[in-house]
Amino acid sequence: MRFYFPDSQDLVSPTYDFANDEYSPFRVRQRDDRYAHEVVPAPYDGILVSKAIVDGSLKGAGKYSTPQRERLYRLGVRSFFRLPEGVASIGDCGAFNYADEYEPPYSVEEVLDFYEGCGFDSGVSVDHIIFGYAPDASEDDVDSAWAERRKISLRLAKQFFAAVDTRGARLEPVGAAQGWSPASYANSVAQLQEMGYRRIALGGMVPLKTPEILACLQAIDEVRITGTELHLLGITRVQSMAKFALHGVTSFDSTSPFRQAFMDDRDNYHTQQSTYTAIRVPQVDGNPTLKRRILAGEVSQSKAIAAERECLKRLRGFDHGTVPAAEALDVLGDYESLVNAGVAKKSYMPAYERTLADSPWRDCPCALCRQHGIEMVIFRGSERNKRRGFHNLTVLEAKMQALSAG
């Protein structure tokens, strides 16, 4: 089972000063900052890059600046990302970014230009995502927009495969299958195989529950040719991957473990056995609510800054064995109360107590946890949060290896 990490230009600065929360004055982001595979042994088998992220879509600009975009086209995907040997690349259109449009905003030729121009190993055909699941609905019964989107995806997949062949493009064509039910997904896969595809990406499954995904895979089994490989777009269900593999799934992609580091309410730091809540120590000058209250005279700025610094001091002291957990928790509780005063928010203190009691970073073998210690579980700014996301990717990679070994 191969895991692809979707790119969104997530890097960290190796020279970031955690003690003073500042970057080196000599830092040049693209030259000096590092991708996940440059700070820990590659925690994925490949990267996925979407055209919508690079070039933008009808919604607006992508995540890349003009200089970054030009560098990607000039250097190619391997040199731009400084990919180590063995890490593959796959391109797609980024259908989520234009899901509200009547048709995809890119032509087959434009997408193939992107794939060839960047030198991807594989490229997914142009598709149009279907947001909905109606397991028993036929094409005549289902929402007409769903049926039309599946037709569009199949029509463009046929054109894409032909264009790859006509150009003699040196990339693996991956057919995108859309559907709203087990039967419609199976029919899409059957048609893609007739076109010549032997690797097929299943899209639109992110909202589905695991039993629903399995039902679709079981229906696909009825038509899947031996040797046809399936890729799950946007799916991370580690505990179900062994079951998925029995139905021809050989790869998947997802940002979920990374994003949970700073987007999830509780499950921020992952281990093989559990998840932990990261300790929130917001920066006084970076918290909009707190800044407004300071400007309104409701909170003393000097008191808030002192409390913030004391939290960091006590947490680092705890990590060094000079401050008891109870003392660190006391100042965390005071700062949380100050930040949340007058705001109806739940307390994270019980979760913090568990995080400090178990101190999971101390047992983690990854290079980031060994280097940064407790900073890895402090929820504060992108440098810590992204490093925690990279750590989570190493945990996912270890879980996948364990599944493969089992």
- pLDDT over 90 for what percent of the chain? 87
State the burial class of residue 223 (Cβ atoms within 10 Å of its Cβ: 0-12, 13-18, 19+): middle
Asked whether residue 27 carries a pLDDT value surpassing 80, the answer given is: yes
163 contacts 112 by C-beta, under 8 angstroms: yes
- pLDDT over 70 for what percent of the chain? 99
What's the rounded Cα separation, in Å, for the pair 62 and 105?
A: 14
Point out the least confidently predicted range of 56-60, 130-134, 381-385. Answer: 56-60
Question: pLDDT for 368-401, tens place per residue?
Answer: 999 999 999 999 999 999 999 999 999 999 999 8
* pLDDT computed for residue 223 by the predictor: 98
* pLDDT computed for residue 57 by the predictor: 75
Q: What is the CA radius of gyration of the chain?
A: 24
For range 310-334, the mean pLDDT: 97
Shortest CA distance to 50 belongs to which of 3, 18, 98, 2? 98
| Options 33, 55, 127, 253, the catalytic residue | 253
Question: pLDDT for 156-189, tens place per residue?
Answer: 999 999 999 999 999 999 999 999 999 999 999 9
What's the rounded Cα separation, in Å, for the pair 384 and 12?
A: 9
Which residue type occupies 322? T
* pLDDT computed for residue 29 by the predictor: 87
Mean pLDDT of the chain: 95
* pLDDT computed for residue 286 by the predictor: 83
Question: pLDDT for 248-296, tens place per residue?
Answer: 999 999 999 999 999 999 999 999 999 999 999 999 988 888 888 888 8
Q: List residues bridging with 92 in a β-sheet.
A: 50
For range 117-124, the mean pLDDT: 98
Vertex 38: Cα angle to 35 and 41 (nearest 5) = 120
83 contacts 77 by C-beta, under 8 angstroms: yes
* pLDDT computed for residue 395 by the predictor: 97
Is 17 a residue of the active site? no
* pLDDT computed for residue 353 by the predictor: 98
Q: Where in the chain is the domain with CATH 3.20.20.105?
A: 45-254
Q: In sequence order, which residues have a C-beta less than 8 Å from that of residue 350 and are 6 or more positions away?
A: none
* pLDDT computed for residue 259 by the predictor: 97
Structure tokens at 4: 């692809």
Point out the least confidently predicted range of 42-46, 121-125, 238-242, 244-248. Answer: 238-242
Q: In sequence order, which residues have a C-beta less than 8 Å from that of residue 202 and are 6 or more positions away?
A: 177, 185, 216, 230, 231, 232, 233
Is 92 a residue of the active site? yes
- CA distances (Å), 342 to each of 253, 299, 301, 366, 389, in order? 41, 11, 16, 40, 32
Structure tokens at 145: 């927009």
State the burial class of residue 99 (Cβ atoms within 10 Å of its Cβ: 0-12, 13-18, 19+): middle
* pLDDT computed for residue 340 by the predictor: 85
**Domain range 45-254, CATH architecture:** Alpha-Beta Barrel (3.20)
Q: DSSP for 60-98?
A: B--SS-HHHHHHHHHH-HHHHHTPPTT-EEEEE--GGGG
| Options 33, 92, 127, 319, the catalytic residue | 92
Asked whether residue 61 carries a pLDDT value surpassing 90, the answer given is: no
Asked whether residue 32 carries a pLDDT value surpassing 90, the answer given is: yes
